[in-house]
Amino acid sequence: MSEFHQGEQDPDRFRRRILFAGAFVLTCFALLFGRFFYLQILQHEYYRTRAESNRISLVPVMPNRGNIVDRNGVILARNYSAFTLEITPSKTLGLEETIDRLGEIVEIQLKDRRRFKRLLEESKNFESIPIRTRLTDEEVARFAAQRYRFPGVEVKARLFRQYPENTLAAHAIGYISRINTKDKEMIEANGHDANYKGTEHIGKVGLEANYEFELHGTAGYEQVEVDAGGRAVRVLSQTAPIPGNNLTLTLDARLQSVAEQAFGGRRGALTAIDPSNGAVLALVSSPAFDPNLFVDGIRYDDWDELNNHPDKPLLNRAIYSTYPPGSTFKPLMALAALATGKRTPNQAIADPGYFNFGNRRFMDDKVGGHGMVDMHKSIVVSCNTYYYTLANDMGIDNIARFMSEIGLGRRTEIDIPGEATGILPSPEWKQKRFKKREQQKWYPGETISIGIGQGYNAYSTLHMAHALANIVNYGKVFRPHLVHSITNPTSGEVRIVEPQPIRQVPLKPEHVEVIKRAMAGVVREGTGARAFAGAAYESGGKTGTAQVFSLKGGQKYVAGQLRERLRDHSWYVAFAPVDKPKIVVAVMVENGGFGAQSAAPIARQVFDYYLIGKLPGGPAPEVDSGEENGDEGAATIEE
């Protein structure tokens, strides 16, 4: 117990303890200093970086998307700025409740809620999603005053895509819409992911899709200092975005408008090409849709309406829908015959009104036949028998080879996505197309109907216009294109999309002249005559009818007795002027009946406007051929 006894107050002991305490304090402080040295000197770089990444956040700044204008500068797609009210679901206290309360200060309709819900399903929780677009100034002010009540809700100024001409050339221009998972994969595959960090919309269809990376521009960045709550405190530095390039089209908006109106709401398609360079002058798919509907997320009922409409307005018929070309195929067959030496222009056949092959009989339209028929007459009167024999003489391989050269049954490489390959029938094609052995075999009889553009033949208006353009251009093949030039809005530098011939089909000019003259004959005295009566220019054309419904032998085709959807498709292909063609057009009117009746008048209006600037007086007049006994039969009876 003596240890506890302090005796006479041992001051030395106390002093020793004071010294001990002092030493202890110094040790502890040295330890602390060591810790500070470690953090502030040895690990300084690490913590400096952590502090920087804490406070600095890179915010992408969206570039302005490029505008799209027609060849005359008419604006077809542009941007406008508007305020949107956006919600970041993860930051709200309760999503439904937030929207309900927002509804008390700005108008939120049921359609807005529906669209929000759909966008919500497509996006991640921390993305901000618009509940209302195009707020009025008053609504912006009213929300700003009550902002504090709405965590996770913000007003943002955003650029919106606008298509001022609404439905005009909608299929060619396409539209932009919100980026989805598939688009993201595409962006990543192209190595553009960094550039698309702040981008919410992407071209989905048409030029907007094909020229996406031209139109998009380069994103800028803001280095923003953020606080612990993630709020931006100030901008430290800024790299300005580079706006996207503008597109100037080969398309003529007014011509396009004339052509679209000429359809008068009927289903169909039209492709007009400048044969000298492949420039697409008009690309019509009727009926059309309003691309503006897609921009800030299409409403469900609009989508439903467009998607389920029996006329399928979203379908780009001009490049995607293919139809048997019918008699419009005949001038191509005639040229093939000349090019392969199977016929001379003057070689004539006697047409008894039918062609016997084996034990099958292929009928001409005209009972009793056309008499002696040479090449010129075969086109003008659209003699089937001539082409039955010709197809039989040429054989399917020769036909397929020539038609492919001239541009059928393959992609034209037009600069919008979604074009069809079409069907150029051949034994090889049949083998690939069918699985069963017996279906794969090519029957010589099939070659015969190919000769008049029926059978498996199926081409789009783009194909037919392209092929005709290649012919009147003496075999020089240009890629059909919609974009004339790409302008950099910053530097003003203009890149012209030079029309380069992609191949030369060895056609003799004198052969081409035979075909052109014969097609001019069609307009002068054949099935095109009524539609082009009194035209101030000389054009060449060919009508055609694609069968939708095959009649049993002996039945007569009476359009009025068939339901509208079962009526034949109406074709017209043409070029003008004959001497030096400036425009080639292929028109297809679904269930339009005879080519002369529905399609040719549309081509007339397009030529009238393009060549002499004449606008149609009223709605497209239907030329009533008064005949119902078969397509090109009309030609003979007219005389």
Burial string for 407-425 (b: 16+ CB within 10 Å, else e) reads bbbbebebbbbebbebbbb
Distance between CA 119 and CA 177 in Å, rounded? 11
**Cβ atoms 143, 166 nearer than 8 A:** no
Q: Is 26 or 350 the residue whose CB approaches another protein more closely?
A: 26
Distance between CA 565 and CA 568 in Å, rounded? 8
Residue 156 C-beta: closest distance to another protein, Å: 23
Q: Which H or E element spans position 495?
A: strand 494-496
φ/ψ of residue 242, rounded to 5: -105, 120
Distance between CA 115 and CA 103 in Å, rounded? 15
Q: Is 43 or 307 the residue whose CB approaches another protein more closely?
A: 43
Q: Is 141 or 233 the residue whose CB approaches another protein more closely?
A: 233
Q: Residues interacting with another protein, by CB under 8 A?
A: 1, 3-6, 8-10, 13-15, 17-18, 21-22, 25-26, 28-29, 31-33, 35-37, 39-41, 43-44, 46-48, 50-52, 54-55, 225-229, 233
Q: Is 229 or 341 the residue whose CB approaches another protein more closely?
A: 229
Q: Is 10 or 428 the residue whose CB approaches another protein more closely?
A: 10
Distance between CA 564 and CA 533 in Å, rounded? 28
Q: Is 6 or 359 the residue whose CB approaches another protein more closely?
A: 6
Residue 126 C-beta: closest distance to another protein, Å: 15
3-class SS letters over 363-409 = ECCCCCCCEEECHHHHHHCCCHHHHHHHHHHHCHHHHHHHHHHHCCC
DSSP codes joined into one string, 147-206: GGG-TTEEEEEEEEEE-TTTTTTHHHH-EEEE--HHHHHHHHHTT-TTTTTT--EEEEEH
Token pair 């400048």: residue: 274
Residue 13 C-beta: closest distance to another protein, Å: 6
Residue 91 C-beta: closest distance to another protein, Å: 16
In 250-396, DSSP assigns E strands to 268-274, 279-286, 349-351, 354-357, 360-363, 371-373
Residue 303 C-beta: closest distance to another protein, Å: 41
**Cβ atoms 88, 152 nearer than 8 A:** yes
Distance between CA 317 and CA 202 in Å, rounded? 23
Residue 223 C-beta: closest distance to another protein, Å: 13
Sorted by sequence, the CB contacts under 8 Å of residue 248 that are 6+ apart come out as: 69, 70, 71, 73, 483, 484, 485, 486, 487
Residue 23 C-beta: closest distance to another protein, Å: 11
Active-site residue, from 128, 327, 378, 382? 327
**Cβ atoms 505, 470 nearer than 8 A:** yes
Q: Is 44 or 111 the residue whose CB approaches another protein more closely?
A: 44
Q: Residue 237 has what DSSP assignment?
A: E
Q: Is 16 or 309 the residue whose CB approaches another protein more closely?
A: 16
Amino acid at 425: P
The interaxial angle of helices 300-308 and 110-122, nearest 10 deg, is: 80
Residue 128 C-beta: closest distance to another protein, Å: 22
Burial bucket for residue 264 (CB in 10 Å: 0-12, 13-18, 19+): middle
Query: Would you call 327 a catalytic residue per the annotation?
Result: yes
Catalytic residues: 327
